[in-house]
Structures are given as C-alpha cells and as structure tokens.
Structure 1
Amino acid sequence: MSYKHLKHFIDTLEKAGELIRIKTYVDPKLEIAEITDRVSKSPGGGKALLFENTGYDFPVLINSMGSYKRMCLALGVQELDDVASEIEGLFKMLSKPKESILDKLSMLPKLSQFASWMPKVVSGKGSCQEVVMADPDLAKLPVMQCWPKDGGPFITLPVIHTKDPNNGSRNVGMYRMQVFDKTMTGMHWHKHKVSAKHFMEYKKLNKRMPVAVILGGDPVYTYSATAPLPENVDEYMLAGFLRKRKVELVKCITQPELEVPADADFVIEGYVDPGEELIWEGPFGDHTGYYSLADWYPRFHVTCITHRKDAVYPSTIVGIPPQEDAWIGKATERIFLAPIKMTLVPEIVDMDMPVEGVFHNLVIAQIKKDYAGQAQKVMNAMWGAGQMMFNKILVVTDEGTGIQDYKQLAQYVFRHLNPATDIYLSQGPMDVLDHSCSKMGFGGKMCIDGTKKYEEEIDENYELGITNYELKEAVLMERFPEIKGVNAALLKMDISCLLVAVEKNRPFHIKELNDRLYELPEMAGIKMVLYVEHTVDVSDLPSALWRFCNNLDPKRDSFVVNLPLPNGKRRAGIGFDGTLKTRILDNFERDWPNIIVADDATIRKVDEKWKALDLGPFIASPSLKYKHQIYGEEAVVQQ
C-alpha cells in the first residue's frame, strides 16, 4: 500500500496500537534520544513515539520503523518475506524462455505494471511546497542532538537527492548532516557512496552541485534511500514497486535540476561547491555503538526550505544495538535475499545479519552445498557484490541446520569446523566507520566455513577432538591474573568456543596468552577463544559479541595454534583479539573511539519526568549498563 503522507502513516500506527503521543515538553537536545533509547530497547522494539511538545512548530516522530510489525506496516506487507517472494517471482517470469507469441503477449500486463511503478515528474507545486520559508533557517526545525559527545545537532533521517552531471541519473541516499548554522550543514557521504562519485564529477567540471534533501512523506522513501541498490537503479522505482504506486515528483524551487516527492513533509534545497574548503564534521554516535571520529566533509549550503502545512519532523537515533536501524536492516536482509539468490549466489537458501554484528560486521549465509569448496565460492561472490564488500565476518553453513536458531547454528558450525583449515582470511574495502582497521576503510575479513565437509576438504593430519566440558573458569583466572572474566557456558552447549576478558599490559599480550592457554590440558578440543576488554561482562553474550565484532580486524588479530599429538596428528585452535588497540601495546596508529552512553544529567532529567511521559512502567537508562566500560571523557587518542 502507499501512504498519502507521513501523517497517514502516523494514523495507521496509532490505529494498530503502535504509537504513543507524548504531550509533555521534551528537549530535542539529548532528551528525545535518551527516551527513545529506553523504549527502542524494550521487548519487540517498544512503540513509535510522537513528541508533540518540543519547543518548535513541528512534532518529532521517532522509532516509527523500530519493530518487525512497524517495518511491515511501513512497507505495506504482512511479512517482509512477501516482498522477496514477489521479487523472486518477477525474476523467474522475466527469465523464463518465451517460445511462442502467446508467451510474449502474456508478458504485456506485467510490463504495464512495471511502468506503473516508475517515478513521474508532475507539473506545478507539491504539498511539500505549501509553505516556503522566506528566510531559510535550519534552527526552526527540531534537529536533535542525540549523544553528549556529538559534534552538534544532526539531521539523522535525510533522504538526499543528487544527479550525475554527465548522464543525469538520479541517486537517492541517506547520509547524516551536521547543522553548523541556519543555512549550512556538513554532507557526510563516504567515498564509496554514489553521491560522493557525483561530487567528484562536479569537481572535475568545476561546477556547483545541486542537492535536495527531503524529510518524511511515505516511509517507503526513507527505506528506499537506505537500500543497497545498483548504481543504475532509481531508488524511486523500488519505492514505486514497494508501494504499488508510482512516486510523483515535483521540481525544486531554487534547484530546478532536481525533483523530489510531492508529498514529502520537508524539502531542504541547496548546493555543494566542490571548490570550497571541506569542514571538520563530527564526532557522531553511530550505528556501530561507537562514536565515529570527526573528519573532513563537504559543506552543504541551504538555498530554500519548504514544508507541508501539517509537517511532522521524522528522526531516528543510532547507537548501541538494538535500535530502530536494526529493523531497517532486517528488511534489507529479507528483501534482497531474492536478488542475491537469482543473480549472484544461486545456491543461497537463507541469510541472516545478527543485531550484534551491526549490519556489516557479521553475516550468516545458508547454502545448498553440492561440491567441495562451495563455501569459498560463495565467499568470493558475496565479498565482490555491492555493499557486501564491507562485510567483516561471513559464516557459511548448509542445509544441515537452520540459521535463525543461533544455538543450533553454532553447534553445527563448530562440529564441522577445523580452525586451521576452515577459516579463510582476506582483506579489502571496509566500512569507513570500522574503527578496528589499521587503515581507514581498508582491513581484514574472515569467512568461517561451517558446512559439512566433503572428503576433499578434510585434512587427515588434524584431529578435531572432543571439547572439555569441565573447564573451570576460576582455574584460568587463578593461573593468569590478567584474565578478569571467563564465560565457558557455550562449552556446556556443545559449542567449542570460550570468551575471555583480559586486561592487557604488554605488547603482543593476547597472542602470548593464547599460546599459553592452548598448552593447558584443560583446553583440549576447544576450537576458538574470543578475547575482549577486561571491562566487558562476558556473561552477557550479546553485549560481548557486539564489542568483539566491532574491535576485531580478523586478519591482524587472529592467532592459530597447532599442537602435536602423541599419535602424530595435530589439534588446532584459534584465538581472536577483540580488545581495544593502542599504539603502545598493539602498534595501532589510529585514534580509538569511545562507546556511546548518555550523560548523567540527561539520565536524571528523563528519570524525573518519566511519569509525566505516560510511557508505562519505568525503564532505566540502557547507558547505565555501559558506564563503567567507557575509556574516559573522549576517544582514546594515541600518544
């Protein structure tokens, strides 16, 4: 279904019991984010929140797609897999041989349907232009500051329009925008993004680059801007397909080269001058759960702001998972499974991106395995495709297990894993926000082949052995004072993996400790050890895995051990260093960001007004869980 405007979606959420209106005054600076963080981490993602009293003329909608149900409502489907099934059906129909004239004629209705999804530019003004600010001023919008160490207020849900100056092809993407003054923001597009490529083309031509930003409208616009589409596919074609109705566009007022959806809530028009000096933008509490460090980005100059008479300002927060973006990512995981299967990896059966992996860090792929080396074939195909090139850890398994039950999955993977032969290390492009890479945007990758092995894939020189389920955590901590916590619970579940919290105090400490641990008889058969910082609670498995995945460069931080056995064979284990890296202890030259937590003053303010918010039983700040894990007031700056 299509939504006429954002208020239509709000009404739908309210009728479904998925929205709470908050009439008490709440400050967009830090307070909205703190309330939303508490609600979004509630079971099932809590509710969507509409803050109606912010000190501005416009209410703020947040967490509107922050659950499975609300994500389905946003896309107008009963289940997210319904979209994938429809896409798969279209692929099969289009690729089916057309042997007769009747076969070809049968395609006409479907081709007509395709045409009905294509965006269309209409004449005149749209409802997004009902009000034109005589003096454009971003300070009149309730732009939020989400976290205390953010560089300032950021527009967090902007749908940004640019065009290639050479062929006129449109790109619609989502890149955060730090507000610097009433008519200027940063434009945080990474070098891998299409808009950044457009920017470089304008730079070659020495021309100003027109840019238009919308907020609101049909929530499908917001989702489509985040979708990992090929460069030559218009995001509004995807939006038209999802809403089963074409997107109607109108020309911008001061940047007429660009068109925007007529039913958007806000339009911010302007330009980027490629010849202008860049601006120092950030830091920003990002979806990784860490602050992304400040860097140089283009300046966006506002030339016009228009909006609907009844405009609602949509926003989101990102931070320590789970947040609203986890559900947007879940939609992408389900929707884009079909195109991956039909065009890239035909053997893929299912795919999952665990929340703890914050999208790019951890991906699980289930395949129909028919021959030796197929997991490696899939690895190469996926790492070479679009935004999958940013994937850090890829786990490949087969139809012998499901991948939604993580316990069953882990048991299966470790049962068939030889740490010495079934873990593949590589390197390549990484997300610019990945702070663990020794060089920004370039680092290590790992594929774990957790499939059942064919004879050709088995190295007979190794003995996998049986895990020692009687390992005593206290014994390890007594022998090694630097070990501050051990979680051996997975061993008791037939998952051959140990979590260890370590307080590092010397160079190469983790490698040395890993070697010494594996010399112990108690470690016999344990295939993998994950090391995290001593401040991490290893008994909290989701939190520990989130920290581990963020802090690991698999190629640099992995240590394989091969130990001889009396029978002439060997047993293997592997350790992974998921701790904080520094120059002194790890020869790591980049600054290391801090994790994101709310400040005490904001937590106290929200505690005090909680009852007046009518949000139900009191929810304590999620930040309290992580306060002791921060490294100080700022990022760890290398000395």
Structure 2
Amino acid sequence: MAFPDIQSFMHLLEQRGELLRVSTPVSSELEITEIADRLVKKGGPAVVFEQVRGSEFPVVMGLMGTRERTALALGVPDLNDLAAKVRHLIDLKGSGGMLGMLGNLPKLRDAMNLPPRRVRSAPVQEVVWRGDEVDLSRIPVLKCWPLDGGPFVTLPLVITRDPETGERNMGMYRMQVMSKNTTGMHWQRHKTGTRHLEKARQKGERLPVAVAIGGDPALIYAATAPLPPIPGLDEFALAGYLRGQRYPVVKGVTVDLDVPANAEFILEGYVDPQEDWVVEGPFGDHTGFYTLPDLYPLFHVTAVTMRRQPVYPATIVGRPPMEDAYLIEASERLFLPAAQLILPEIVDYHMPPAGVAHNLVVVSIRKEFPGQAYKVANGLFGLGQMMFAKVIIVVDEHVKVHDMDAVWREVSQKAVPGRDTLTTRGPIDVLDHSSRGWGYGGKLVIDATTKRPEEIGSNVSSRDAQAADVSPETFVPHVSTELPEFEGVLVQRQTPDGYWLVALNKTRAGQAQELAEAFAAHPAARGVRHLLICDEATDVADLGDVWWTILNNVDPERDVCPVTSQGGTLLAWDGARKLPEEGFVREWPPKIVMDEQIQRRVDARWHLYGLPERWR
C-alpha cells in the first residue's frame, strides 16, 4: 500500500485505532515529549496534538512507534518481509539463455522504477515564506529534554548534492533552531553532508541545502537507512523501490535541488563553508545520554514552503526503547540479504535496543570450521556503517538473535573470558562518550558458538574435529547468598546464568578496578562469568537497563578485561563513570531524565488529554 504523504498514513492509522488526537492545549517544551515517551514505551498509539501553544500547526508523534506500524508504513505485512523483498531484487541470474533473461524482466522493471519522477507543481509549495517572512518560531519545533540547548528539528530529511559529481544525498541530521532563519546542521565527520561541505569549501562555493519535513513514511525511513555506495541508489530510489513506483519530486523555489513533492514543509537555504561554526547542543540523544555542546555548521534558511494545512511530524530519541528502535530493525531486515551475500554463513543478526544501534550486534552463523566467528565479526566490521559496531556477539544458528535472554545464556555458557573474547580497535560513532578518542576506540568480539577442538586447546585429531562439535568445559553457574560489601556499592545481585550486577557510586579513580579484583577474589565469584559494574543510576533488577548502561559506558579495550576468580576467569565490565584523574579528558555526559515537575504536570493533566489510563 502506498501513502502519498504523512496525512494519508495518519488517516489509515486513525481508521485502525492506531492514532488518537489530543485537543487540549499543550506545550512544545517538554510536555509533548513526556506524553509521547510514555506512549512509545508502552506500545501505545500515534498521537496528534491539535493545539500547540505558540503555533498554528499541529504536531504528530509516534507514527512508527511500534513494529507493526513501521511495517505498515513500509508497505509490508511484517518487517521480516523486507529481507525477502530485497533478496528478490538482488537475485538476478543471467543463465538459462533467452528464457532465463525473460524471467528477470519483472525484477528489472522493479529496478527501473528507482529514479525519482520530476513534477511541475506540488502540495508542499502551496504556501511560500521568503526573506523576512521566514520565521521558524512559528513552526512547533520541540524542546525534547530538560538540558537541551534549545528546540530541535528531529525528523529532518536533509538534501544536498555533491559539488563535483552531482550525486544526491538525503540524511537525517538533527537541527537546533538558532534564530528565526538559522539552525545548526549536525553533520558528523563520517557523514556524506560533511564531505559535500568540504568539497564546496574547496571550490569556494556555498552548499545549497533543502530540508524536507514529512512526506511518504517510506522516504522518512530511507533517510535513516545505511545505504551501500552503489551508483544510482539513493534515498529517493530506495523509497521508490519500497513503493513500487517512482518518487515524485519538485525543484525548490530558491535552491536548485529536487525536494519531495508530498512533504509537509521544506526549509530551503545554504551552508557557507567559509563561516565560523556555531556551538550546538546539548541534545538528549538516541544513546539515552546527552551529547555535549560542540561546533557545527550554520544553516541559513532562505525560504520555507508548505502545504495549506500542514502537520509537523516529530520524533524523540532517548533512553530505549524509542521509536528509532523500529527504524533500526527495519534496516536490519532490509540489509540482511546484502550481508548474507558477502558473508553467506550468516543466518540472522540483530541490533537490540539496549545497544542503541551500534553498541551491540548479535549474529548467528552456520559454523563449519574453527575461528569462523572471528572471520564473520571482522567481515561485519568492514561493512559500511557496521564499522561503528562496538561489541559483536556470534552465536550458533539455532539461537534466536532477538531473544536476548537466550543470547546472554549462550554467552555465559559457551564464551570463556579471555579464551573466547577478542579486543581490537577501529572507528566508533562520534556520539559515543566513552571511547578512547573522538570517533575512535576499542571493540570486542565474543565467540559464543559451540567450540571445535582447535578452539579449546584439545588434542583431538583434525579428522575427529570435523566429525562433531566439541562443547566447552562444563560451566556451572552459582548464585551466592552472601555477597561482599565494598566502598560505594549501592545494590548488587547475581543471576542464575552467571552474571553479577553491581551499581557503584564511584567517587575516586581506580575504584571500579579495585572492586573487580576484590569481588573476583571472593568466594561469591565461583560460578560467575561476567561482573557488570554500572553507575549509581542503574537499576540492577532490570537487565536491559544494566546492558544499556554498560554498553554506553565502556571502551572495550580499556574497560573490559578477564580477571582470575574463584571459579576460573570472569570478564569484568567497568561501566562506571570515568574520571579526569584516570586520564579521561572529555566531560562525562549525564543520562537523560525528564524534570519531575513535568512528570507531575503530565500525570495531573492525563485525563484532559483524553488518552487511556493504561498508557499513563
């Protein structure tokens, strides 16, 4: 099913009971965030805020806030069907003579539908603000979290063109509103927009930019997708393929760029590479932590075009699970066939919400020889944006990668710390606050597959090794009833599958390392495979919260190490805050937490919103 625009999709969701309307006046500063956050975390509906104080335009949130709505937005019954759709396209065969080629015609027709289609007029240009008419404060841009540096556009489709090759790019980069006609442009060092800006600087030119807000939900998704560098494949082409029809575009009114004809708003303008960059942030980011202020380019808005009655779509990111988790899962499914084309032993893979995309990747494989887990992990590190992965866990083909309880059991039972763990280095997401350097840090591979004799130091012959898998040494987890006390430890518990979870109020350098050594030497460590040291704000009763904290707060090369224990060896994960006295020169960011006053306000007004009590 094709949705020509956001409002068509909203209409369908409303018919299905998946979208509700709030007519009570609400604030774009924090209040909308608190409501939307509660809804997405409880699997609630999308919501339209019809009266936003200070703006004439309504706000819609949570359009892809569940797995089912994301699949519906992308035109498939289930997100797993995206893999079959792509596998159908890439499986072009040239054998079989003329009949074989004729059999490919339907697939080739699909591929020919990829380029966008230029139209002369468009709904998004029904109203035009130019020059002094431009006033971004009239648009209900949200201030999402208490420490945010200001309001941020959170679903922008930022369009640029390579000044040398003419190739188009669309990416989703947050934009902080700086004035009535300027915003920040959060182009990180690895992003295509950064390369385009550098080429414009070398040519002594301004870089034209157009920012679409709204449009076909498939295009919004496409702007987030990690597309491979294939000539002719861009975000418009991906959206066209998902829809089975060429995507309609129109030329901008003040920039020579094609923009989505069916968007709600278009911000047109430029970035001048000769200008000084501006301070942008803080921003409550998808990691669940604030990214701290930094310097980024300034975007000048020369025109705003829109529909006569537009709706402003927005999203929020923060502590998982959030709406972006379903977009990430869509990318998993979409690019699984491509990964399998390069690494055919891959059965499935998953980037769980606790890993906020890049921090954790779980991959299952058909294992045929020793060392294959490391072969696959190294191959993944070389695939596009997978280079940012921090921890890769490799499991056997029968393990369901989306069942994280099962995955962590496999890790504790089959991965011996030190023997079956490998640390390396590479590029890291620049939003990672714990890495040893900006955009550069440690990585960890955990081989949780069933081991071959060669992998455990066995003297079994190679012939016998080919005949059958050899299980690791017997591991008997143990839950101690008497846990040791230690300075700064607030709460601790052990799990039946070999994990020791600790919340530490760290006040001095080296405290986490001392804790790891003291706990490893204690009798309670017998039967423990992993000691997870978290910060004081972590709920150790919630394994998802524990792993979210750990994966955000470790550089594996520095903070994850085997320690000799009562039971052999355990892997100590230091997920506590790092201090300047420990050589950590950057400021450590806070976790995102909503103001208690806003929480109480939303509690008190929930009945006025007209939303069901079960999502409160």
Q: TM-score, normalised by structure 1?
A: 0.91
State the match for 1:141 in structure 2: 139
Separation (CA, whole Å) in 2 of partners of 1:523 and 1:110 = 58
Equivalent position of 1:165 in the other structure: 163
C-alpha deviation, 1:338, in angstroms: 1.5
Question: Do the aligned residues in 2 keep the contact of 1:160 with 1:213 (CA within 8 Å)?
Answer: yes
Write the distance in 2 (CA, Å) between the matches of 1:512 and 1:604: 40
1:537 aligns to what? 539
1:365-416, Cα deviation, whole Å (9 max, x unpaired): 0111111111111111111111111111111111242223222222223221
Q: Distance in 2 between matches of 1:296 and 1:52?
A: 35
Greater mean alpha carbon deviation, residues 112-121 or residues 139-148 = 112-121
Q: Is the 8 A contact 2:534 2:574 kept in 1?
A: yes
1-structure distance, mates of 2:111, 2:562: 53
- Structure 2: where are the runs of 5+ without partners? 460-470
Pair 1:599 & 2:595 matched: yes
Equivalent positions of 1:65-144 (< 5 A) are: 65-92=64-91, 94=92, 96-122=93-119, 124-134=120-130, 135-144=133-142
The answer to whether the 8 Å contact 1:465/1:525 transfers is no
Q: Which runs of 4+ in 1 moved over 6 A?
A: none
Which piece of structure 1 moves more, 519-528 or 240-249? 519-528
Q: Give distance in 2, aligned partners of 1:463 and 1:512.
A: 30
Could you report, residue by residue, the CA deviation over 1:9-40 in whole angstroms, capped at 9, with x for unpaired residues? 10011011100111000111111111111111
Distance 1:464 1:517, change over 3 A: farther
Q: Distance in 2 between matches of 1:475 and 1:288?
A: 32
* Partner in structure 2 of residue 501 of structure 1: 503
CA contact (8 A) 2:26 2:32 kept: yes
- Asked if structure 1 preserves the Cα contact closer than 8 Å seen for 2:37 and 2:322, the reply is yes
Partner residue, 2:483: 475
CA spacing shift, 1:618–1:17, aligned 2, 3 Å: closer
- Structure 1 residue 463: deviation in Å? 8.8
Q: Deviation at 1:468?
A: 4.7
Partners of 2:34 and 2:602 within 8 A in 1 = yes
Whole-Å Cα distance in 2 between the matches of residues 514 and 463 of structure 1?
Answer: 25
Q: Is the 8 A contact 2:292 2:589 kept in 1?
A: yes
Q: How far does the alpha carbon of each residue in 1:414-433 deviate from its partner, in whole angstroms, 9 at most, with x for none?
A: 22111111111011111111
Query: Can you list the C-alpha shifts for 1:489-527, whole angstroms capped at 9, x where unaligned?
Result: 2xx2xx222112223344322222222222233322322
Question: Which of these residues, 548, 551, 557, is aligned with residue 549 of structure 1?
Answer: 551
The worse-fitting range, judged by mean Cα deviation, of 152-161 and 500-509 is 500-509
| Alignment partners' CA distance in 2, 1:512 and 1:147 | 35
Paired residue secondary structure (2:557): coil
Look up the equivalent residue of 1:104 and give its one-letter code. Answer: M
Contact 1:464–1:525 (8 Å) recurs in 2: no
What pairs with 1:297-316 in structure 2 (closer than 5 Å)?
Answer: 297-316=296-315
Determine helix, strand or coil for the equivalent of 2:107.
Answer: helix
1:333-352 correspondence runs (5 A): 333-342=332-341, 344-352=342-350
Q: Distance in 1 between matches of 2:614 and 2:571?
A: 44
Mapped partners of 2:57, 2:509: distance in 1: 54
Equivalent pair of 1:463/1:571 in contact (CA under 8 Å): no
Which residue of 2 is the match for residue 560 of structure 1? 562
Q: Give the distance between the partners of 1:615 and 1:137, measured in 2 at CA.
A: 32
Distance 1:60 1:128 in 2: 17
Correspondences of 1:320-339 after superposition (within 5 Å): 320-339=319-338
Q: Does structure 2 conserve the Cα–Cα contact (< 8 Å) formed by 1:438 and 1:590?
A: no
- Taking a change above 3 Å as real, the CA distance of residues 57 and 505 of structure 1, as seen in their structure-2 partners, is closer
Please give the secondary structure, in 1, of the residue aligned with 2:601. helix
Cα deviations across residues 322-348 of structure 1 (Å, max 9, x unaligned)? 111111111111221121112x22111
Deviation at 1:465, TM superposition (A): 5.2
Judge conservation of contact 2:149–2:282 (CA < 8 Å) in 1. yes
CA displacement, residues 54-103 of structure 1 (integer Å, 9 cap, x when unaligned): 132211111110001110111111111111112112222x1x24241221
**Other structure's SS at 2:556 match:** coil
Secondary structure, aligned partner of 1:475: coil
What does 1:151-550 align with in structure 2 at a 5 Å threshold?
151-232=149-230, 233-256=233-256, 258-342=257-341, 344-459=342-457, 464=473, 466-472=475-481, 474-477=482-485, 480-489=486-495, 492=496, 495-550=497-552
Contact 2:210 2:255 in 1 (8 A): yes
**In the alignment, is the contact (CA less than 8 A) between 1:266 and 1:306 conserved in 2?**
yes
Number of residue pairs the alignment of both structures matches: 600
Note if contact 1:611-1:618 (Cα within 8 Å) is conserved in structure 2.
Answer: no
| 8 A Cα contact 1:351 1:366, kept in partner | yes
Contact 1:118 1:240 in 2 (8 A): yes
Q: Report the counterpart of residue 580 of structure 2 in structure 1.
A: 583
Q: CA deviation at 1:593?
A: 0.6
- Give the stretch that moved more between structures: 244-253 or 83-92: 83-92
Choose 183-192 or 501-510, whichever is displaced more. Answer: 501-510
CA distance in 1, matches of 2:52, 2:355: 34
Q: What amino acid is the match of 2:187?
A: W
Decide whether the 8 Å contact of 1:551 with 1:578 is kept in 2: yes
* Matched AA of 1:136: V
Question: Cα distance 1:504–1:609, how it changes in 2: closer, same or farther (>3 A)?
Answer: closer
The one-letter amino acid paired with 2:480 is L
| DSSP-derived class of the 2:613 partner | coil
Give me the whole-angstrom Cα distance separating, in 1, the residues matched to 2:52 and 2:246: 34
% of aligned pairs identical? 43
User: Does structure 2 retain, via aligned residues, the 8 Å contact 1:468–1:523?
Assistant: no
**Is contact 2:414–2:472 with CA below 8 Å preserved after alignment?**
no
1:607-626 matches, within 5 Å, as 607-617=603-613
| Distance across 2 between alignment mates of 1:113 and 1:501 | 53
Whether the 8 Å contact between 1:465 and 1:524 is mirrored in structure 2 is: no
Q: Residues of 2 paired with 1:482 and 1:26: CA distance?
A: 42
Decide whether the 8 Å contact of 2:450 with 2:472 is kept in 1. no
Q: What is the alpha-carbon distance in structure 2 between the residues aligned to residue 463 and residue 22 of structure 1? A: 57
CA distance in 2, matches of 1:278, 1:409: 44
- Structure 2 length-normalised TM: 0.94
RMSD: 1.8
Report if the CA contact (8 A) 1:178-1:187 is conserved.
yes
